[in-house]
Amino acid sequence: MLTIAVSKGRIYEEALPLLASAGIRPVDDPKTSRKLILSTTREDIQLVIIRATDVPTFVEYGAADLGIAGKDVLLEYNSKGLYEPLDLGISRCRLMTAVPVGQQPVEGRIRVATKYVRTAKDYFARKGRQVEVIKLYGSMELAPLVGLADCIVDLVDTGNTLKANGLEPVDLIEDISSRLVVNKAAMKMKHAAIDELLQILERETKNNRSLEA
């Protein structure tokens, strides 16, 4: 049995067609079912539906053999304990800094609100900027509006959320997409099954890329 960890929501929805290309179709719909383990149309494959930020943990500890996680989550998790063999090209966006429109550059130490604490600290350290990072779990865009922070580090796709809150993107930290991650022991012990799946997903992502080009 192979267990694949996927987060509910955006990544799950975008991963469905990729999984379907390997004959993996969940039997229940996580939107309506309370089940956390989903059987699929492949008897040898099940899905576990978890929070996006928990996917690398489940995979590193072998609770899932494979997982689908955003590069943003993987950067923040920052572990060498799992393989990241494939960029699936889904849930694409950018991890950026953003500030209120027209804000004068802040001298000295800046306050940064984000859920990506480690990634933000590393980024500003590379730039030689002194920062105080304030950890939030969501609605980062609110922080500069209420005086909690000078700047945020968050995901930007269309830019609509920033715009609606009077913010503008400044620096690109990383281009983000979802990646397939694999448990290291499973890669050895279940090599044939994982390799077969990897090849199908690789072919499918290549096809999708050439359709986009």
In the numeric block, which tokens belong to residue 202?
């690789």
CB 132 within 8 A of CB 117: no
Binding mask 67-106 for ligand ATP (x = CB under 6 A): ---x-xx-----------------xxx-------------
Least distance from ligand ATP to the Cβ atom of residue 205, Å: 16
Whole-angstrom distance, CA of residue 35 vs CA of residue 202: 29
In terms of CB distance, is 28 or 174 closer to ligand ATP? 174
In terms of CB distance, is 14 or 202 closer to ligand ATP? 14
**Please, what sign has the CA dihedral across residues 192, 194, 198, 201?**
positive
Whole-angstrom distance, CA of residue 81 vs CA of residue 91: 23
Nearest partner of 156 among 144, 174, 142, 143, judged by Cα: 174
From the list ligand PRP, ligand ATP, none, partner contacted by residue 109 (C-beta under 5 to 8 A by kind): none
Residue nearest to ligand ATP (CB): 70
* Contact positions vs ligand PRP (CB under 6 A): 138, 154-161
* Contact positions vs ligand ATP (CB under 6 A): 7, 9-11, 51-53, 70, 72-73, 91-93, 155, 157, 176, 178
